[in-house]
Structure 1
């Protein structure tokens, strides 16, 4: 019900279609973050209008439109799949027609590891979109950007794998700041949660 409600409110189409399950060796199949999970995340995690968020593996842009509409932050969606990227662009047009605003919303069609981290990017969202090898490259890119400009940098992991967690906690300066459990879901599946990591000062 929430999937239909929010897509209609935002004038977008982000549900999973019948042909949306393709993946590759290192990139996992498309799966949009449930709107109910996003509701729970933002009850406990604060986004500021000054933040610039990057959603790696954004698919059709659900997280992007939700954050932009309800929290006013700038956000860029990075998607390697040309078809999903085009659907995100069509959603952007529909969203703009509905809300009359789209400033601060961008989509980039490229491999996640090829996205050039900008010095204003400071929050990075991952819904387990690829293997640890790709994740490690992206974290390396983020850390190089932090060397150019020190700033608050946070990672938001939904359904984060043990490989992601082990790497962050043992081989990077990121520290686990918060675990956000989802009522009724986290009890059945321990990975059904959000993990917030922050780059140590």
Structure 2
């Protein structure tokens, strides 16, 4: 099956998941903030692989940093018994659309929240699983990780971080309080960036999993 056919089938499956959940999370656009990367949602299939690997549970608070239109939060809230799902983004338009999506969401919505804020200023003290789909450059990412570490000092707890399309992986690898626990190669999640698979530098994983130590 050619790449174009697989890409169309994948988008069809994602469209059907959006319809099932009562949301519209499709799109590709600039983040609108300095050091931000364009919004482009991970496929639902990728999210299922990632969340199954993490083992989302009833005590988890899932936080999507740079949430865009909210796809990971909605999928987690629909399919997994999470305590809460939170999406943060500095782009007001994204947050407004995510909240409209929440109004139409066919799952339980009381524990889902979308917050317009700067990720460097956010209070991470309640998050136990953090998802990032290549949201920032190295400078902002370094500051965000520092904020997450501050939250660990204030509220000691295990934290898991999932970093998709890990362009700035070196920032995570330099953090002494994080340990890599797993990774997916591009071949394991070809649907993550199916239209641009050749963009991955040789040897770069597609998804990296970290936990606090």
Deviation at residue 44 of structure 1 after TM alignment: 2.6
- Once the two structures are superposed, the pairs formed by residues 11-160 of structure 1 within 5 Å of their partners are 11-16=22-27, 20-21=29-30, 23-73=32-82, 74-95=84-105, 98-99=106-107, 101-118=108-125, 120-160=126-166
List 4+ stretches of structure 1 deviating above 4 A: none
For 2:97 and 2:57, the matched residues in 1 are separated by 27
2:179 to 172, 175, 180: 175
Where 1:30 maps in the other structure, the secondary structure is coil
Where 1:47 maps in the other structure, the secondary structure is coil
Q: Is 1:23–1:30's contact at 8 Å kept on the other side of the alignment? A: no
Per-residue Cα deviation, 1:10-36 (whole angstroms, up to 9, x for no partner)? 00000016xx34544401111111112
Deviation at residue 139 of structure 1 after TM alignment: 0.7
Q: Is 2:32–2:91's contact at 8 Å kept on the other side of the alignment? A: no
Q: Is 2:31–2:91's contact at 8 Å kept on the other side of the alignment? A: no
State the Cα RMSD in Å.
2.0
For 2:74 and 2:176, the matched residues in 1 are separated by 30
Where 2:120 maps in the other structure, the secondary structure is helix
Per-residue Cα deviation, 1:136-157 (whole angstroms, up to 9, x for no partner)? 1111111111111211111110
For 2:177 and 2:117, the matched residues in 1 are separated by 27
Comparing 125-134 and 170-179, the one that deviates more:
170-179
Where 1:111 maps in the other structure, the secondary structure is coil
Number of residue equivalences: 192
Q: Which residues of structure 2 form unaligned runs of 5+?
A: 1-11
Q: Which residue is equivalent to 2:5?
A: none
Identify if the C-alpha distance between structure 1 residues 93 and 198 changes in structure 2 by more than 3 Å, giving closer, same or farther: same
For 2:17 and 2:59, the matched residues in 1 are separated by 24
Q: Which residues of structure 1 form unaligned runs of 5+?
A: none
TM-score in terms of structure 2 length: 0.83
